[in-house]
Amino acid sequence: MTVKVLTIKEDILGINKEKAIKNRERLDRYHVLAINIMSSPGAGKTSLILQTINRLKSKTRVAVIEGDIASQIDADKVFQHGVPVIQINTAGGCHLDANMIEKALDNLPLEKIDLLLIENVGNLVCPAEFALGEHRKVMLLSMPEGDDKPHKYPLMFTETDVVLVNKVDLLPYLDFNIAAFNQVVNGLNPRSKIFPVSCKTGEGLEAWFSWLEKETKHRVYDSQAVGP
């Protein structure tokens, strides 16, 4: 007896690349840096966004797009931090797509925004496959999810610019091998940066803020150099 492995390919991709390119051109015209934030449900995307707004809003004009299947719990939290926010409800859809982002951009004051944080639907699968027009992809892995996730959801790790390993405050109570995790992620994607953080205690977030500030500045510089 051996393990039987069946590989069954199903086409779940819509064609939204063209619209993503248009979104990207529009964001570039307004010198907005857009970050697509992805993770499993409950890995800490909203907490990361709230921490980031608090830290950066004195010098960076932040706006947020919240993606959820249902509810506007997250948008309400962001709204209380005084930045423009759009809630997208996908009504069952398991990821954001470029069409949804286009509609959200129609409702945002782009000329008054430097940094657009897009919280995707909580899902480690489909969001990685749909470009939104973002400049950078960021994913959170919550430590309690386990260090084997890069093996099981490789596309998300291959596509991302930054992996935030969140809930590091729980590490003493978990069997999570950080060295092994880093090695697998680096194997899949050598350019990805890995920051262990706790969005609850703030531990490790300075590295994330520094990266983000550098990207925002670089983006503004780029846009000034290249023109709209």
Smaller CB separation from a copy of itself, 30 or 79: 79
Closest CA to 226 of 31, 24, 22: 31
Dist. CA 150–CA 36, nearest whole Å: 19
State which residue, 100 or 113, has the beta carbon closest to a copy of itself.
Answer: 100
Least distance in Å: CB of 29 to a copy of itself? 22
Give the DSSP H or E segment for 140.
strand 136-142
CB of 51 to a copy of itself, least distance (A): 16
> Minimal distance in Å, beta carbon 169 to a copy of itself?
7
Nearer to a copy of itself, 33 or 43 (CB): 43
Q: How far is the CB of 131 from a copy of itself (least distance, A)?
A: 15
CB-nearer residue toward a copy of itself: 169 or 215: 169
Give the span between the Cα atoms of 52 and 29, in whole angstroms: 24
Are 34 and 118 spatial neighbours (Cβ–Cβ below 8 Å)?
yes
Determine contact, residues 171/165, Cβ cutoff 8 Å.
no
Farthest CA pair distance, the chain:
64
Taking the complex as a whole, the smallest distance from the CB of residue 24 to a copy of itself amounts, in Å, to 20
Q: Which is nearer to a copy of itself, 154 or 204 (CB)?
A: 154
Query: 40 or 52, CB closer to a copy of itself?
Result: 40
Judged by DSSP in three states, 192 sits in: coil
Structure tokens at 43: 């890995």
**At 145, is the secondary structure helix, strand, or coil?**
helix
**Residues at the contact surface with a copy of itself, assessed by CB under 8 A:** 1, 3-10, 12, 14, 40-43, 68-73, 75-76, 79, 84-94, 97, 99-100, 103-104, 107, 121-126, 129, 142, 144-146, 148-149, 151-155, 167, 169-170, 173
Neighbours of 67 (CB within 10 A): 30
Q: Shortest approach of a copy of itself to residue 213 CB, angstroms? A: 26
CB atoms within 10 A of CB 170: 14
